[in-house]
Amino acid sequence: MYLTNGIVIGIIYAISALGVTLIVGIMKVVNFAHGELYVFAGYFSYYMSVSLGLSPLVAMPLSVFLVFLIGLLMEKALIRPTYGDDMYSLIVTFILSIVLQNLALLIFGPYPNKPPNLIFGATNLFGLFYYGNQRLLSFFISLAILLFIFYLIKMTWFGKSIRAVSQDREMASRIGIDHYRINMLSFGLGAALAAAAGVILSPIFPVTPSGSAAISLTAFVVVVLGGMGSLKGCLVGGLILGIIENLGAAYISTMYRGIFGFILLILVLVFRPWGLYGQKT
Amino acid sequence: MKSSTIWFSVAGLSVAIILPFFLSQYWLHVMIISLFYVMMASSWNLLAGYTGQVSFAHAAFAGVGAYTSGMLSVFLGVSPWLGILIGIISAALLGLGLGVLCIRMGGIYLSLTTLGFSEIIRIIITNEDNWTRGTMGLQTPGLFVEYSKTGYYFIFLAVAVAIGVVIYKLIHSEWGLTMRAVLNDEIAASASGINTINVRLLAFTFTSAIAGLAGGLYGHYLMLVTPDIPSLGQMFLVLAMAVIGGMGSFAGPIVGSFVLEILSEYIREWGEYHVLIFGLIALAMARFAPEGLMGLWINKRKGHGHTN
């Protein structure tokens, strides 16, 4: 059961981490406001379905789209001027994370909220134990998103231009790819992935403005573990972290759930700093 | 040293020395807190502004200093002075360890790892409440037998000036030149025989030690050490002071510390909004005036020079 939980959560971690790795891989920018975007999406989906009475099926994609727009705006207004200056982009996204966190506190208040479940009840898995339907559904939605992103990056023209820009920005622009547009779209996509993880997980784990740092960190651990910029690494890294956290919380201590990720991060840095699937240099 | 710099330092120092005789206890407190931030922001600036390493663990190292010294004096009855010294050493050793782990992997890894480290320190302190009293805070003894704000003020002033002098000397030494070479062009620097990793590691360890010292003093001044000291919120304040004052300049973080700390006294009544406001100011500065207040001031002076 803990293992199943680990796999389900791990897939959702993978989506969230995918958002970070996409931006790092293409723009060499770490989005420290990742967790805040997740939290915003969770609250959007809560207010749309509870206050506006929208069906969660409408509220969820709508929230993701809203955060996608926020991501585009962030890139255009704040990240674009920092191109080529890695240090400033780190500082700007960190300040942005503090601003968004306080903004969330201001708008949504400090109380945890959870959007309504899409589905109720539980299913007997493999005749072993009952498992919540909401979690199962989340698992399948996440899997679908994951496959979609892999398809997008590996098979479509958009994906090809993304990979071209990430390999050689100058060369890509010389063959007619507008790298400003690509950067903006990928930042938006990264934000949307954070939002997707947010709307999927928030019915299971309620969102709070103060919880955003932990969410960012989880995504960062997965990205470093998998290797920066690697899509496959995100999937494997997410699963590993999900399983370790759930087994660790079950058998060692729940208070220190956050610590397992950090220990993993240290181990990766000591033994394989480029991550599981990253490039060595 | 330029003569204008000397004049500014002498004038500033004289004002600082006679200040406590004119200030109320309340404003003296504000000055002491500002001096704490001067130590924090200046040393963080040495790291980020001069070697390009954006560490998010600076507040965490201050927390290490504060809690090490606090717990030693509470549980073992160690003198706070000795406690602060041990706190400095602990912060330096942790900094060295963290630096060895991630500096060779480059800037992004350092930022991610220090952010993680900072959260872990906060989680451990909050959870191990037998030793740290958790969020309630640990009550620690003061530095003096008889409480004296003026006494604290002079200690903070002396330490801040000493740190300032060391940083100034470092920036204007061969070592500072090396660090700037690493910042401007890492490949060229390493090609001309500079060991970039050692330079960065040294800077990281040294500034962690300063953060430990500042945190130790701060804890014994407040006489209550809470998990707020190693929090990311505190880290943000230090970063905002350096960014708003002007990163990569010696005076920038000093100006930023006083401006923000004094400003925060005036907007205190707005409560939680004040972090949001600082955040927006910092964001606007980083976007439109990346050299901060110092940069603006220098440009303005230059502009006047041209028109005259």
Q: Which long-range contacts (CB under 8 A, 24 or more apart) does B74-82 make?
A: B74/B138, B74/B139, B74/B140, B74/B141, B75/B131, B80/B140, B80/B141, B80/B142, B80/B143, B80/B216, B80/B220, B81/B143
**3-state SS assignment for residue A130:** strand
Q: In angstroms, what separates the C-alpha of A111 from chain B's closest C-alpha?
A: 15
Q: Do B112 and A261 touch (CB under 8 A)?
A: no
pLDDT over threshold 60, residue B179: yes
Q: Do B120 and A269 touch (CB under 8 A)?
A: no
Question: How far, in Å, CA of A134 to CA of A124, rounded?
Answer: 13
Average the pLDDT over B21-26 and give the result. 83
pLDDT tens string B155-165: 999 999 999 99
- Give me B248's structure tokens: 């990569």
Chain A hits for B232, CB-CB cut-off 8 Å, are: 98, 213
| Residue A276 placed within a domain | no
pLDDT in tens, chain A (281 residues): 778 888 888 888 888 888 888 888 877 888 899 989 999 998 888 888 887 777 777 888 888 899 999 999 888 888 887 776 778 888 899 999 999 998 888 888 777 777 777 666 666 666 566 667 778 888 888 888 888 888 888 777 777 777 777 777 677 777 777 777 888 888 899 999 999 888 888 888 888 888 888 888 888 989 888 888 788 888 888 899 888 888 877 777 666 667 888 888 888 888 887 777 776 55
pLDDT of residue A120: 61
Whole-number Cα distances in Å, A257 to A18, A149, A209, B126: 21, 29, 19, 14
Question: How far, in Å, CA of A180 to CA of A185, rounded?
Answer: 9
- Give me A64's structure tokens: 């993701």
Q: Do B116 and A265 touch (CB under 8 A)?
A: yes
Interface predicted TM-score of the whole assembly (ipTM), two decimals: 0.87
Q: What are phi and psi of A99, to 5 degrees?
A: -60, -50
Provide the residue range defining the domain that includes A191. Answer: 2-271
Q: What are phi and psi of B19, to 5 degrees?
A: -50, -50
pLDDT tens string B214-239: 999 999 998 888 888 888 888 999 99
pLDDT of residue A50: 80
* Window 216-235 of B, Cβ < 8 Å to A: 232-233
| Residue A222 placed within a domain | yes
CB atoms within 10 A of CB B36: 23
Question: How far, in Å, CA of A170 to CA of A245, rounded?
Answer: 41
Q: Do A217 and B115 touch (CB under 8 A)?
A: yes
CB atoms within 10 A of CB B198: 11
Does the beta carbon of A103 lie under 8 angstroms from any beta carbon of chain B?
A: yes
Does the beta carbon of A213 lie under 8 angstroms from any beta carbon of chain B?
A: yes
Q: In angstroms, what separates the C-alpha of B25 from chain A's closest C-alpha?
A: 31
Which segment, B3-12, B174-183, B204-213, is predicted with the most confidence on average? B204-213
pLDDT band of B26, cuts 50, 70, 90: confident
pLDDT of residue A121: 60
Of A87, A265, A273, the CB nearest to B107: A87
Average the pLDDT over B240-260 and give the result. 90
- Host H or E run for residue B114: helix B107-127
pLDDT over threshold 60, residue B305: no
Interface test with B, best of A28, A94, A107, A280 (most B CBs within 10 A): A94
Say which CATH number the domain at A169 has. Answer: 1.10.3470
Q: Do A224 and B112 touch (CB under 8 A)?
A: yes
- Give me B302's structure tokens: 């230059």
Does the beta carbon of B243 lie under 8 angstroms from any beta carbon of chain A?
A: yes
Does the beta carbon of B105 lie under 8 angstroms from any beta carbon of chain A?
A: yes
pLDDT of residue B217: 94
**3-state SS assignment for residue A123:** strand
Lowest-confidence region among B175-184, B197-206, B224-233, B293-302: B175-184
Of A99, A217, A262, the CB nearest to B279: A99
> Is the C-alpha dihedral spanning B54, A212, B285, A68 positive or negative?
positive
Of A88, A103, A265, the CB nearest to B290: A88
Average the pLDDT over B237-246 and give the result. 92
Of B52, B56, B102, the CB nearest to A87: B52
| Residue A281 placed within a domain | no
* B169 or B143, higher pLDDT: B169
Note whether B108 and A90 are within 8 A (CB). yes
pLDDT band of B277, cuts 50, 70, 90: confident
0.90 exceeded by pTM: no
Question: How far, in Å, CA of B88 to CA of B61, rounded?
Answer: 9
pLDDT tens string B97-151: 999 888 877 778 888 889 989 988 888 888 887 777 877 778 888 887 777 888 8
* B28 or B174, higher pLDDT: B28
Domain count, chain A: 1
Does the beta carbon of B109 lie under 8 angstroms from any beta carbon of chain A?
A: yes
Does the beta carbon of B303 lie under 8 angstroms from any beta carbon of chain A?
A: no
Q: What chain B residue is nearest to A259 in terms of C-alpha separation? A: B120
Closest CA to A138 of A112, A113, A119: A119
Interface test with B, best of A76, A90, A216 (most B CBs within 10 A): A90
Whole-number Cα distances in Å, B234 to A92, B216, B227: 16, 15, 10
